[in-house]
Structure 1
Amino acid sequence: MEFFGSPSAYINSLSPSSAARDPRVQLPSTTDPPGPNNPPKQLVWLVFGATGHIGRSLAKAALIHNDLVAAVGRTFEDSHESMQRMQYENENCLGLLCDVRVRETVKEVIDRAIAHFGRVDIIANCSGYGVIGACEDQDDYDIRNQFETNFMGTLNIIHLSLPYFRDRRAGRYLIFSSISGALGVPGLGPYCASKYAVEGLVESMLYEVNSFNIKVSLIEPGHIRRDDDTKLTPSTFENAPAHLPAYGHFFIKPTSEPYRTNSSPASHARRLLLWIGDKQPGSAVKAAELVWQLGHCSFPPLRLLLGSYAVDSIRDRLRCITEEIEDWKYLSFPLADQGSAGEHNTDSKSVKSDENEDGPGTG
């Protein structure tokens, strides 16, 4: 899903319909993706964060495939009026608004989506918030807001929808995590911590809900650019604006003096983001097409990595963990000669213990 050269040169050539026709944008056959052998049925999507960095592209991908979409906007940048206009532009789309940190608003959009479409088949959580800055520079509000949005927001969605899926004995969650949920990134400490929490929650829940025919997947995108237009509905798919926001849902925190050097590790995330700008290597349009296929495939994976940066970064991290385990495993699994010595010491201790219980031997 990568382009060689400058991604910005290709922005106007990408659209949900072109991605859907691209044979290279395809899940592996082991997942039984939608196709001739698995004709896709019309499913109902509930997409949280549908106006965000990749949520918009996912909602459009589902609509272009004739699925039904309840698109949930974000209270800090959208309005009820702007979300309601989507329904007038596309009859398959229902525009809603909520704050995932507030359970009452989450419950309201779930109930409205079910009432409007008669059911919900897939819930995708694309909402998120991150602060770029040293751990020491992030105050209580910054940290709590990231956990309330990323972790508690995900938990609110699951808590309030899981009884519905369980009663139906069918349903699917597509939870957007990040490569930051698999490795620590300097300058993104609390954000990584919140994504680690999401990963642990979802992986644990996977085993709990499998018997109810509920499937769960984590999506771990790398650096994904906005290469689609700003409209959510298909009426203006081909008209991409000249400039698209580069930072997504991240806020850059001012750097304190101890971390203000050019080589400070705490400034790594900020330097990387400013260096990449709007030329992230991954395509939101192509990523959305793969996630749409993930919603329709028969055997979804627990994790779907999107982009070469995500694959390389997580693979390198796992290699480091494996090498570290091998370096230190002798502490838990002694070598053969150490094992023999340990057994001898154990026998000696056993004899002494017997002597203490029964008194000294009289031989």
Structure 2
Amino acid sequence: MILCRQLLDHGDYVTAGVLPVEFEKHEDRSAEFKEFIEEVGERDNWRARLRVVALDIKIMGQCQSAVAEAVQTFGRIDILLCCHSEVIVGTVEELSQSSRTLSLIQDQFETNFFGPVNIIKATLPIFRAKKNGHIVLLTAITAHLGTPGLSMYCASQWAIEGYCDSLAYEIAPFNIKLSIVQPNMEVNVLTHKISSAPPMSAYAEENNPAPLSRNILSGLLDRIEGTEEPTTGDQLHSNEVTALYPPLSKPMKERLVAETVHAVAAIGGHDNPPARHIVGFEGVQTVKEKLKTVSEELEDFVECSSAVDIEKHEDMSASTQTQQVSPGG
């Protein structure tokens, strides 16, 4: 809704997809949405430039209906923003303990991978027909970095980015652009639903020195300025599967996503947008360190890599000819 406000204030037309069931289950999110709708009604020309549609991106039919309604209402679609995701907290073993935790893995990929795939597929015919369009995908730097305790979240992010990297080549001849925006992990994690698998004692802090995301997020939720419920972090250590929305105050959310909202708005309207954009200095430095490590390891083992190279074509041909000469010839 923060991005919607900025786009409407800029004079853009917005079709916003919302998941009604989430508002029904969470009163604070429902109240925030109602406040936004009231604000839209009070601002000049906002109401005429906003269309809210019910959308569960996991359902292809709803994606197609949302796209059709956007075209019918405003005549065209110029930019598609995929910004919905969910987070599952738990180590690989913790997520393999029961059928319930295994279903969390499926839900993770249904939301973070197949959901964006659905809405992208529904929009592509529109972009292709007019030979113009821009797809903007919001992921996180976890699509570059493995993060302990967020293995399935990272896997879903890597999957959708791999899909989009390949897709970008396929749609370039139709003048359709694709940009991936990667904010810090906290931006996505703290503004979307978090589900947590029951912890295993083997991965408790006293038994495992790895910086697990469960402990980091738990402490962050309890300490972060603007958190309305100071004991929220304890829920991530429950012996049952739990789900929560971090109860951040409105000012805290606005500060948290400010850089990302600015980046998305700027990239969406750019004539020559980047294929990938990392938001924030910290994220840039983290990715640079990862790339440096990869480069150093590549150099360390370059001789080993080269040792398995196939012989040159000329050498292969000469060898073949030698083998074909008969012993008596």
Specify if TM > 0.5: yes
Match of 2:151 in 1: 189
Aligned-partner Cα distance in 1 for 2:215–2:185: 14
Are 1:173 and 2:135 matched, yes or no?
yes
Are 1:301 and 2:267 matched, yes or no?
no
Match of 2:243 in 1: none
Letter in 2 for 1:299: N
* Residue 187 of structure 1: how far off its partner (Å): 0.5
* Residue 220 of structure 1: how far off its partner (Å): 0.6
Aligned-partner Cα distance in 2 for 1:222–1:356: 62
* Residue 203 of structure 1: how far off its partner (Å): 0.7
* Residue 254 of structure 1: how far off its partner (Å): 2.2
Match of 2:194 in 1: 250
Check 1:248–1:71 CA distance in 2 against 1; reply closer, same or farther (3 A cut): same
Are 1:153 and 2:115 matched, yes or no?
yes
* Residue 355 of structure 1: how far off its partner (Å): 6.2
Aligned-partner Cα distance in 1 for 2:135–2:323: 62
Asked which structure has the greater RCO (Cα within 8 Å, sep 6+), the reply is 1
* Residue 247 of structure 1: how far off its partner (Å): 5.7
Match of 1:117 in 2: 74
For the Cα contact (< 8 Å) 1:98–1:105, is it kept in 2? yes
Check 1:265–1:151 CA distance in 2 against 1; reply closer, same or farther (3 A cut): farther
Match of 2:322 in 1: 354
**Residue deviations 1:97-140 (CA, integer Å, cap 9, x gap):** 21111111111111111111111111101110110111111132
Aligned-partner Cα distance in 2 for 1:284–1:194: 21
Give the 5 Å matches for 1:96-111: 96-111=53-68
Aligned-CA RMSD value: 3.1
For the Cα contact (< 8 Å) 1:125–1:174, is it kept in 2? yes
For the Cα contact (< 8 Å) 1:259–1:267, is it kept in 2? no
Q: How many residues align?
A: 279
For the Cα contact (< 8 Å) 1:133–1:266, is it kept in 2? no
Aligned-partner Cα distance in 2 for 1:77–1:357: 76
Match of 2:5 in 1: 60
Aligned-partner Cα distance in 2 for 1:165–1:107: 14
For the Cα contact (< 8 Å) 1:134–1:266, is it kept in 2? no
* Residue 183 of structure 1: how far off its partner (Å): 1.4
For the Cα contact (< 8 Å) 1:85–1:95, is it kept in 2? no
Aligned-partner Cα distance in 2 for 1:162–1:225: 28
Match of 1:234 in 2: none
State percent identity of aligned pairs: 28
For the Cα contact (< 8 Å) 2:183–2:279, is it kept in 1? yes
Check 1:224–1:68 CA distance in 2 against 1; reply closer, same or farther (3 A cut): farther
Match of 2:304 among 325, 328, 331: 331
Aligned-partner Cα distance in 1 for 2:72–2:206: 54
Aligned-partner Cα distance in 2 for 1:355–1:125: 59
Aligned-partner Cα distance in 2 for 1:324–1:360: 52
Give the 5 Å matches for 1:195-214: 195-214=157-176
Match of 2:215 among 234, 253, 271: 271
For the Cα contact (< 8 Å) 2:77–2:126, is it kept in 1? no
Give the 5 Å matches for 1:270-289: 270-277=214-221, 278=224, 283-289=256-262
